[in-house]
Amino acid sequence: MNFLGIVYKNILRRKARTFLSLLGIMIGVAAIVTLVGISNGLRSNALDVMSTLTGDITVTKSGNILATETMDESVMDKIKDIKGVKYVAPVVIIPEKEIETGKGIGSFEVYGIDPVAEKLIGTAATEIKEGRALEANDRYKMIVGSAYAKMKNLKVGSKVTFYDKQFEIVGITETGNYIMDQMRAIPIDVAREVARLDPRTIHMVRVKVEKPGTEKEVALRINLIVPNVEATTSSEQTEQISNFMDTIRTMTWAISAVAAIVGGIGIMNTMLMSVIERTKEIGIFKAVGWSNTDTLKMILLEGFLLGFFGGILGVIGGKLATMIFASLLAQFQADITLTLVGEAMLFAVSLGVIGGIYPAYRAASIDPIEALRNE
């Protein structure tokens, strides 16, 4: 029997124990692939949102970048007069409330927008796939994202109840982004009315600059001239989102790694028990000429193969888990890159090899004469 044949035989000697070791690695790697893949997908979606929802500059109340606090509409007049500003568009964000469609109830944000200003800003979030955009004289009209329309079985002409008012769907938007395609928008004056907000209330102002490349300069002017507001460029917001999602990715790696390390300990235990059981066999190998290096290579190769096959099963399991997740959230896709697969496999193989170091050392230290006396 050749060297690889011996290794293969040793791995299958205790099938149940080998299976449990593979299961431990598989669970850990599957957790890495699933959680990190989902976080990558969320990062991609979040960055897409920033590119489609914002203007060149977004202005919110100072210290409130999430736009949960209100401002007076008068800030728009001040922003309009600032050098470098071309257009401004106000946004009201309606507090979450159940939207009943007859096909189920969901809790989502709805944006109040100025139809005329939106056309001037020209964000991809309001590009119409079916029907039409909101118009200046619209009252109880609504545009919805394609994902939301599909989820609620809505089409142009459908009616939805929002804050006890009947709204007609006049348009369906589609950006290809899971989050953005769940958006809903109504005329800004109607939004203030149904939510009982002050007629001059706004949560956010989107700004388009006259010349591309001057966004930071114009944002600085806004921050210096207009009191109690915070102007951030789309690139700055993207960087903030990117840094936050990178932190989430690191955390998911750390959490998943704990599960994988437990699997690595399982490999160490499996191989150590295997060495103890095979003491006499190892002694025979060494008696017929095997060196300590040969013994080390045999045990480490066993650990490598356990980590390798456990990693493959984990990647497959992680992919299946993300497919199930995607089926529950329409249009969401986890981002499982080749880099992620490579990192997960390297981690699994490393655990297998590291888990085999002590058992390999113990096997190499076996005295052949003492081993042959072992019963």
Domains in the chain: boundaries: 3-48+241-373, 63-227
C-alpha 33: how far from chain center: 11
Burial class (CB in 10 A: 0-12, 13-18, 19+), 271: buried
More confident residue, 12 or 148: 148
Burial class (CB in 10 A: 0-12, 13-18, 19+), 235: middle
Name the residue among 181, 46, 66, 60 with its Cα closest to residue 125.
181
pLDDT at 195: 87
Q: pLDDT class for 101, splitting at 50, 70, 90?
A: very low
pLDDT at 169: 94
Say how many CA atoms lie within 13 Å of 86 toward its Cβ.
15
Q: What is the pTM of this model?
A: 0.59
Mean per-residue pLDDT for 176-201?
85
Q: Is the pLDDT of residue 51 over 60?
A: no
User: What tokens were used for 139?
Assistant: 């009252």
SS3 19: helix
Please give the Cα distance from 40 to 318 (Å, whole number).
14
Instruction: Quickly count helices (H) and strands (E) in the chain.
Output: 12, 12
Q: Is the pLDDT of residue 59 over 80?
A: yes
pLDDT at 70: 86
